[in-house]
Structures are given as C-alpha cells and as structure tokens.
Amino acid sequence: MKPTSMGQAVLIAAAVLYLVSVFFLSSPIWMGFSLNALIIAVVALSWNVTGGFGGLFSFGHAVMYGTGAYASAVLQVNYGVNAWIGLVAGIVAGAVMGAFIGAITFRFGLKGSYFALVTLAFAEVMRICASSFAFTGGGAGLQVKLDPGISTLQFQDRTVSYTLLLLVVAAVMILTAVMKNSRFGAYLIAIRENEDAARALGIDTYRIKVIAMAISGAFGGLAGVLYLQTMLYIDSTVVYGNAISVEALIGPLIGGAGTVWGPLVGTLGLHLLGEGAKHLLSNAPGLNFVLYAVVLICALRFLPQGLMGFAARIGPFRKKEEDDDNA
C-alpha cells in the first residue's frame, strides 16, 4: 500500500476536525446538519462499493436506502417489532433489493448508462409504491413512536446519536477497506478495468457483481434505518428522492471514487456546500442542486481522480511514490 501523501493527510485531518468539532460547538443546527451528513456519508460509501470499486455507476442508490428505511419502519410501526430487529431487517432488505436489481440487470448484460437508468427507474417505482399502499403510510409516511432508550435505538442526547453514527461510519469504512484489499476486491476492480479480460481469466463476473450489489445494498439499507431512528419519520419523497441518489453519486466522485476516504471527504464538503446555500439563500430553492452540478463538472474536468487522487500527488511522498512506480 502506498504511503499517505501530505495532501491526503491534510484532507483526512480536515474531515476528522470537522467531525470532532460537533462535540465542542453547542449548536443544534450544526448537530442536525452533521447527523444528516454522516447518514449521507454511509450512503456514499455504499455507492462506492459498486461505483468506485466496480465501475457500476448507479443513478438511483436511494432505492436501497429507502427500502431499508421502510422495511424497518413497517415492522416497528405496524407490528411492534423491536428496533434492533428492524435494524437487521433494514440491512437485509437493502441487500436483497441490491441483489435483485443486480441479478436482473447483469443477467441481461446491462452496463454503463443502461444500468444507471435502471437503478433510477427502480427508485422511482419504489417511491410510487411506497406512496400508494396503506401499510407504508401512503403519502403521509410512517412515524415511529418516541420512546428513548437503547432497546429502541433512540436517544434524547443527540451527542450520543452522533457518536454512534461516527462509529458506524468508521466501521463501514473499515469494512470497505478490508474488502478493497481482499481477493473479492481485486476481482471487482479487475471487472471495472476490463470485464471481458476478467471473464477470460476465469472470474465469474456475474456473481461478483451481484454480490457487490448486495453488499452495497446492505450498507444503503443500514443508512436508511439510521435515518429512520434519527428522525423518527420517513416518507417516500425523502427516502426514495433524487436528493439522496445525487449526493451518494457526486460525493464519491468529488472526494475520489474507489478510495476509502474519498466518499467521506467528498460528502462532507458537498453537504456543507449544499446546506450552506439553502440557509444563506433560502429564497432560491433548488440552488444546492445547481451548485452540485457546477462542482461535479469542475471536478470531472480538473480533478478526474477526485480530491484524494489530486492530494496524493502533493507532498513529500510524491517523489518516493514515483520512484517506487519506476523501480
């Protein structure tokens, strides 16, 4: 593994400083913003499994996020199921949804823009379904009963919720790092670079991609449950909405798709920009999406490898890495 460059270290330190600052700033607005940013970061890490490692770009990653949230909410609200069981159910539901989409699309050989559009279509179909059926609350959504306690995964002190979210993000990052450096990760990266060559070498590309979609879906479902337990309310336009899919896609691309820290760094920066625009320019709704588009275009034009890729070329380790590559 190549050493972390000074530029990457600065980006990582900035992200950590931002995350830690919440404990020292007594601001409910900043706390709420940071909680949401961490949840989106989990979705971005979920997207990175398929989009970053496997080159499978999804335009509708909210489908796994929303499915996980609704699976947990339906069980808790309609059947009185314990929140911990709801958490497991949400993760499983997200994984099943991811595997289902992957099994269908990859069986028909869909890739590139076709795969991306199919994921977007699935998210829209699920949004319509969730807003149409009574057991999902219809257009009114579902609200979980307020009952603070460990058994319900609800905490009156939002600092506790934030700390737990930090631990979840750290755990997901560790899991993605382990996966990236495993044989499975090597297969997935090989598929990203040249699927035909990977298949010629004996890699079961269909199986690897479906498993990747299941893992990505599990992380997405986890994020959906975290949102539910934090906000105690969901509706189809939020959890299946385009905003989730957009941030899950753009965050890793800006931070550095295929890296471990990139999705977190990119998502924090993007979320800060978007929420700042909404608060400062509240009379211009939708401006955050315009800013997202501008940032994405600039990133793709000037930072094709994202912030982490650009930062890797800065600092005292640059010459050492070049010497290692030339050796």
pLDDT one-digit tens code per residue, 199-242: 999 999 999 999 999 999 999 999 999 999 999 999 999 999 99
- Residue 230 has which token pair? 């934090």
Q: What is the DSSP letter of 305?
A: T
209-225 burial code (b ≥16 CB/10 A, e <16): bbbbbbbbbbbbbbbbb
Considering the chain, what is the average pLDDT of its residues?
Answer: 89
User: Can you tell me the mean pLDDT for 146-166?
Assistant: 92
Backbone dihedral region for residue 153 (phi beyond 0: left; psi -120 to 50: alpha; all else: beta): left
pLDDT digits (tens, 9 = 90+) for 34-73: 899 999 999 999 999 999 999 999 999 999 999 999 999 9
pLDDT digits (tens, 9 = 90+) for 248-285: 999 999 999 999 999 999 999 888 888 777 777 767 66
DSSP annotation string for 13-82: HHHHHHHHHTTT---HHHHHHHHHHHHHHHHHHHHIIIIIIS----S-THHHHHHHHHHHHHHHHHH---
Distance (Å, whole) CA 281 – CA 219: 33
Given this model, what pLDDT does residue 315 score?
Answer: 54
Q: What is the DSSP letter of 143?
A: E
